[in-house]
Structure 1
Amino acid sequence: MKFLLKLLLTALAVIVLSSILPGITVTNYGTAFIVAVTISLLNVFVKPLLIFFTLPVTIVTLGLFLLVINAVIILLAGKLVSGFVISGFFTALIFSVLLSVFRSFLFSLIKEEKNKHL
């Protein structure tokens, strides 16, 4: 149940960010949900491989290369999901940073509600 709620909140963040950022296009709400699922799957399966293969660069840049990896994940999602268009790498980089911020904020609201019931 909590996983589905996180996917819905991520889809909401994708829709909000696509309306704010000028290089992102999402055709409808269903596409936003598919983007959320795709990003989650890419984060689980592809991101660890990318981190492993780019570990020396990540260490030299003190972890800042992880922002590039997040942008690559967003670009991959753009290639995999029809109806989700990203204009370029810089747009994907900004989108990934803002998506992380939005998700952190929204997921913290879920945690607060859980603590209120205890």
Structure 2
Amino acid sequence: MRFLTWLLTTAIAVATAAWLIDGIRFSGPDSGTAEIQEKLLPLILVSLLLGLISSFVKPVLTILSIPFIIVTLGLFLLVINAAMLMLTAWLADKLDIGFDVTGFWPAVGGAIVITLVTWIVDGFIGTDAEKK
């Protein structure tokens, strides 16, 4: 159950970032039920990829970047999160999933949106799932 909650939270956050940030997008139709049908599986796959990359690559980068994190008072973590999103887009492109991040600044914006939306959604559904 915890995995499904995490996957749903991440999918909502990635979908919100793709909706709000101009340089983040899923390929396919732009409206209607066809959009939902064609983008749902890629959204789930991108959420899984982002989770895997954040689980395995991000800790290594964070440890290696401790001096930069200290000097920038933690702001370098935003750069690491943007790099994780760009790595996810690169891997999604190699796997032909249809997810694209066009540059560094859209990745930074996407990292901010994904972090905030994940935090908000976890606040709503995370506490109920933990009580059960």
Aligned length, in residue pairs: 117
Q: Which structure's relative contact order is higher, taking Cα pairs within 8 Å and 6+ residues apart? A: 2
- Tell me which residue corresponds to 2:92: 81
Q: Hey, what's the Cα distance between the residues in 1 that align with 2:20 and 2:76?
A: 25
Structure 1 residues without counterparts, runs of 5 or longer: none
- Partner of 1:81, secondary structure, is helix
The partner residue of 1:39 within 42, 46, 50 is: 50
**What TM-score, normalized to structure 1?**
0.90
Runs of 4+ in 1 over 6 A off after TM superposition: none
**What TM-score, normalized to structure 2?**
0.81
Identity of aligned residues (%): 34
* 1:32-111 equivalences in 2 (<5 Å): 32-82=43-93, 83-111=98-126
Whether 1:17 aligns to 2:9 is no
